[in-house]
Amino acid sequence: MAASRTRVVATLGTAQTLAWASSYYLPAMLARPMAAELGVAEPTVFAAFSAALVVSALVGPHSGRRIDRWGGRPVLMATSGLFALGLAAMAMASGPIGLLAAWLVMGVAMGSGLYEAAFASLVRLYGHEARGAITGITLIAGFASTVGWPLTAALEHAYGWRGACWAWAALHLLIGLPLNAWLPRASIATTAAAGPAAGTGSKPPTSTAVLLAWVFAVSWFISTAMAAHLPRLLGAVGAAPTAVILVSALVGPAQVAGRLLEFGLLRRLHPLHSARAAALMHPLGAALLAVLGAPAVAAFALLHGAGNGILTIAKGTLPLALFGAQGYGQRQGLLVLPARLAQALSPWLFGLLLAEFGTRVLWFSAALGLSALAALLLIQVPARSTPTSTEVPS
């Protein structure tokens, strides 16, 4: 069983790295050459990407329901084909309409094939014992930008942006599809994993779902805003250009460090406790940066990155711990729907606030982070709750 679970984590983690690198992290490298060749403004490319995020939000609950019914293997295999189709359509786009259509296909693939679908697939296989596996795939896929950005840049330099899209499409068919096909078939018995009441006392109230949805929306808004505007923000507080580059690069390793902390020490705690600690990290870092300025840029990057890394795992483990395994996929899709919409608006809205208020925007992001912490504090650890299994892949 340990060897099988290790294989599943490695397989799914690698497939997730490919999925994230070729979708979410693609515009950062290709938006400029796409815009130049297609004769559109660069923000138009990002607007198409935002439309894809909206589509992914709407698709998520339907994809989750299918994973609940059939397991993750057939859904993720189909998603590999959708990613390939969307990237091929992007490579053949001749104008803004074709580009938008390609990104809408990518939105369907993202809503069916990124973390939420992977988490639901693991819960379908392992029920309440999925926490360690969820952490494992986020550890691997946490390097998606580290792998994806340099590879996309190298492909674009060698073959142009269209060639880069064709290459990613081929990788989905040659690597992603076989990896997802290698996942175990979910048996009917795994669906019988504990429902909402098993191991968690009585069913949590509806307000718990509302609070969780708010936490996820806030955390995704902040993480996407920082991904889009961190260099500009650090420059606004007075950091030197070389420091901006170096400090921005700390966020990725800090996220992985946060996930390693969850993988080790924090896995013995209920995920609600680790999520509360993680929710405090961005507000603390933002307050230090707002008060101290440039000397606090490294502390901010490390705190923000570590908190975001742990909260990424909490998006998978908290619904499992609070509501149980039955119906997890559809519930997960509904819980993250507001988060996907917030994610789509985040780069544009935070950019406006940064232009209007400068570094004072940090108080806004800190207040949002504290509201997420307050929501987590309002959620109670269920009576007679037992932490999800501490078993981890070996």
Which of 170, 226, 214, 185 lies closest to 350, judged by CA? 226
Which pLDDT does position 384 carry in this prediction? 54
Q: What is the pLDDT of residue 307?
A: 94
> Which residues make Cβ contacts (< 8 Å) with residue 204, sequence separation at least 6?
196, 322, 323, 379, 382
User: Is there a contact between 164 and 49 (Cβ–Cβ < 8 Å)?
Assistant: no
Question: Which ranges of 22-143 does DSSP label H, i.e. alpha helix?
Answer: 27-38, 42-70, 72-92, 96-113, 115-126, 131-141
93: exposed, middle or buried (Cβ count in 10 Å: 0-12, 13-18, 19+): buried
Cβ atoms of 229 and 164 closer than 8 Å: no
Helices (H), the chain: 2-21, 27-38, 42-70, 72-92, 96-113, 115-126, 131-141, 144-171, 177-181, 188-191, 206-236, 241-248, 251-263, 271-292, 297-323, 328-357, 361-378
pTM: 0.80
- Average pLDDT of the chain to the nearest whole number: 86
Contact assessment for residue 243 and residue 294, using Cβ atoms and an 8 Å cutoff: yes
- The span from the CA of 149 to the CA of 266, in Å, is 30
User: Six-digit token pair at 114?
Assistant: 């990124």
Segments in the chain below pLDDT 50: 3, 189-201, 385-394
Q: How far is the first Cα of the chain from the last one, in angstroms, to the nearest whole number? A: 10
Distance (Å, rounded) from C-alpha 239 to C-alpha 345? 27
Domains annotated on the chain, with CATH: 2-191 (1.20.1250.20), 206-378 (1.20.1250.20)
* Per-residue confidence (pLDDT) for residue 39, from 0 to 100: 92
